[in-house]
């Protein structure tokens, strides 16, 4: 999930829509202090940080964040805030954009920093004859294509990335639906059922196991 910290509602809304269109999950906070608390409490993949904010400046937020976290941060600065840009990079911003900016450029930089932060993940995930290609986001079983919705795909990938580890419903909810999903953990059960009906039932295999009282696991 990407956090946007920006008090100008129009910019925040625009960036959020563009990012969501690209398939990212996004959280927006307009207040500096609140954003710092959220950034410390959660492991955001990346933070887009405006500098002039209510209650705490972006620079101060970043300084405090860096005491314990190395979440990639792209700062947004106005043209006349050169000193802030320098200060931001000094205290650990990974990149900066000057407002007004082209959204394509911001998207390109986000991709760069997300990639850099990724623990060299492999392009393909497999489980027996089940093959997931992350590049094309396709899933096949023994060469037969399986059509999954985005959430089904994300859940399957998350469980496979954590093979042999029991995943609680809360963990799955956080990873796939995001922290600000309003609903209960039953949604995870529902999506596991969808996966089973599209994979297990069709190919007569057992992919996602239920671990009684704990959650779900894909086990070798
Ligand atoms: Ca601002």
Tokens 């972006």 locate to 58
Ligand 1 centroid vs 12 CA: distance in angstroms? 10
What tokens does 214 get?
């704990």
DSSP secondary structure letters along 169-208 = HHHHIIIII-TT--S-THHHHHHHHHHIIIIIHHHT---E
**All domains of the chain in start order, with CATH:** 2-116 (3.40.50.2300), 124-218 (1.10.10.10)
pLDDT score recorded for residue 120: 53
| Mean pLDDT of the chain, nearest integer | 90
Q: pLDDT at residue 214 above 60? A: yes
pLDDT 10s digits, 128-173:
999 999 888 899 999 999 999 989 999 999 999 889 999 999 889 8
Catalogue the E-assigned strands of 33-121: 46-50, 73-78, 95-99
Q: pLDDT at residue 179 above 80? A: no
Q: pLDDT at residue 208 above 90? A: yes
pLDDT 10s digits, 78-133:
867 777 778 888 889 999 999 888 999 999 999 888 876 665 566 789 999 999 99
Ligand 1 centroid vs 20 CA: distance in angstroms? 21
pLDDT 10s digits, 26-81:
999 999 999 999 999 998 999 999 999 999 999 999 999 999 998 999 999 886 77
Per-residue pLDDT band at 194 (split at 50, 70, 90): very high
pLDDT score recorded for residue 60: 95
Q: Using an 8 Å Cβ cutoff, are 49 and 56 in contact?
A: no
Ligand 1 centroid vs 43 CA: distance in angstroms? 23
Ligand 1 centroid vs 73 CA: distance in angstroms? 16
């Amino acid at each position: 999930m990407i956090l946007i910290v920006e008090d100008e509602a129009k910019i925040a809304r625009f960036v959020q829509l563009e990012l969501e269109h690209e398939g990212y999950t996004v959280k927006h906070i307009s207040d500096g202090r609140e954003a710092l608390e959220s950034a410390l409490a959660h492991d955001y993949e990346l933070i887009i940080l405006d500098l002039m904010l209510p209650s705490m400046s972006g620079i101060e937020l970043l300084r405090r964040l860096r005491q314990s976290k190395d979440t990639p941060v792209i700062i947004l600065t106005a043209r006349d805030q050169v000193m802030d840009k320098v200060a931001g990079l000094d205290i650990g911003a990974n990149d900066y954009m000057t407002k007004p900016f082209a959204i394509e450029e911001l998207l390109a930089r986000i991709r760069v920093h997300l990639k850099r932060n990724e623990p060299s993940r492999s392009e393909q995930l497999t489980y027996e004859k089940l093959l997931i290609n992350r590049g094309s986001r396709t899933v096949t079983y023994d060469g037969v294509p399986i059509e999954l919705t985005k959430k089904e795909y994300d859940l399957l990938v998350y469980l496979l990335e954590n093979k042999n580890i029991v995943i609680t419903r809360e963990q799955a909810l956080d990873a796939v639906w995001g922290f600000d999903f309003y609903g209960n953990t039953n949604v995870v059960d529902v999506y596991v059922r969808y996966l089973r009906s599209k994979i297990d039932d069709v190919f007569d295999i057992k992919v996602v196991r239920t671990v009684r009282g704990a959650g779900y696991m894909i086990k070798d």
